[in-house]
Amino acid sequence: MSHTAHIPSHRKPRRSASKLALRAGVAGGVLSTLAVAAAAGTANAAEPVTETIEMPTLTTDLSAQIAQSADLTQQAADTYESRAEQDAAAAKAAKQAKEDQAQAEKKAEAKRKAEAAAEKKAEEERASRATERTSLSTQSTSGSGAGSGSTASDSVAAPASGSVGTVISFLKAQLGDAYVMGASGPNAWDCSSLVQAAFKQAGVDLPRVSQDQSVAGTPVSLSNIQVGDILYWGGAGSAYHVGVYIGNGQYLDAANPSKGVVIQDLSGYPASGAVRVL
């Protein structure tokens, strides 16, 4: 017996033939499977891959969203267009306002010049009338001295020659004077103060107010009035306005604050009655 016989052997035990055959068979199957898989992979790689993408379906909600977006876009465009029109209108208005202001300033300047010229002319006319008044007063004084023997009633019934002319000349010298209620000259009158002052130039003292002047002389019909007759509006004894007839269907009076002393047509404002004092 060997001296190492009791020591177990370190060599691997021999595998049995059946196990070796089984393992060879498994290995061959695996290799066959890998070969088939590789072949299949190669075949699949050679064929192109086609992928179908499904497009979204146009639903009712999507259509409404698209329509709403289109409406919003149109509204924005309309808003921009409207704003552009407003800006253009504002620019045009500003330009027109500037032109209007320039025109207004030009008119105002022309008006100021016209008023200055009118004032200068009125000043000259007032100076001229003052000269005429002085002349008329001198003539009236001379006439009164020549007929000093006559009574006041005689002066009314049978006035001195030229007395009516004196009255009319005085009245015309006051044309353009102002109308002021209660005023009695020399540059402003009311209706009765003007008539009183005119007849005083001819030596006739008339009452101060219209009511009394309307009954101060001999009543005459409007169809027979003569130059120098006193015309009145309203009732005899209650007249509210007076003037003097100067011929050709016209009369002269201190009309109102807007007109002043003027000549007017009887056809436009017919008198109620008339009296004659000269």
- One pLDDT digit (tens) per residue for the chain, 278 residues: 555 555 555 555 555 555 544 454 544 554 455 454 455 554 454 455 555 555 555 567 777 787 788 888 888 888 888 888 888 888 888 889 888 888 888 888 888 888 888 777 767 766 665 565 555 445 444 444 433 333 333 333 333 346 899 999 999 999 999 999 999 999 999 999 999 999 999 999 999 999 999 999 999 999 999 999 999 999 999 999 999 999 999 999 999 999 999 999 999 999 999 999 99
Say how far apart CA 122 and CA 114 lie, in whole Å: 12
Q: For residue 241, give its domain range.
A: 154-276
Would you state the structure tokens that stand for residue 9, as one six-digit string? 């052997």
Do the domain assignments include residue 214?
A: yes
Q: Residue 170 sits in a domain of what CATH number?
A: 3.90.1720.10
Please count the other Cβ atoms lying within 10 Å of the Cβ belonging to residue 224.
9
Enter the pTM of the model.
0.46
Residue 255 lies in a domain: yes
- Domain-located, residue 60: no
Asked if the structure places residue 271 within a domain, the reply is yes
3-state secondary structure of 252: strand
Torsion of CA 55, 57, 58, 59, to 10 degrees: -150
Number of domains, the chain: 1
Residue 236 lies in a domain: yes
Alpha helices, H only, the chain: 17-46, 60-146, 152-157, 163-173, 191-200, 210-213
Pairwise CA distance, residues 160 & 196, whole Å: 18
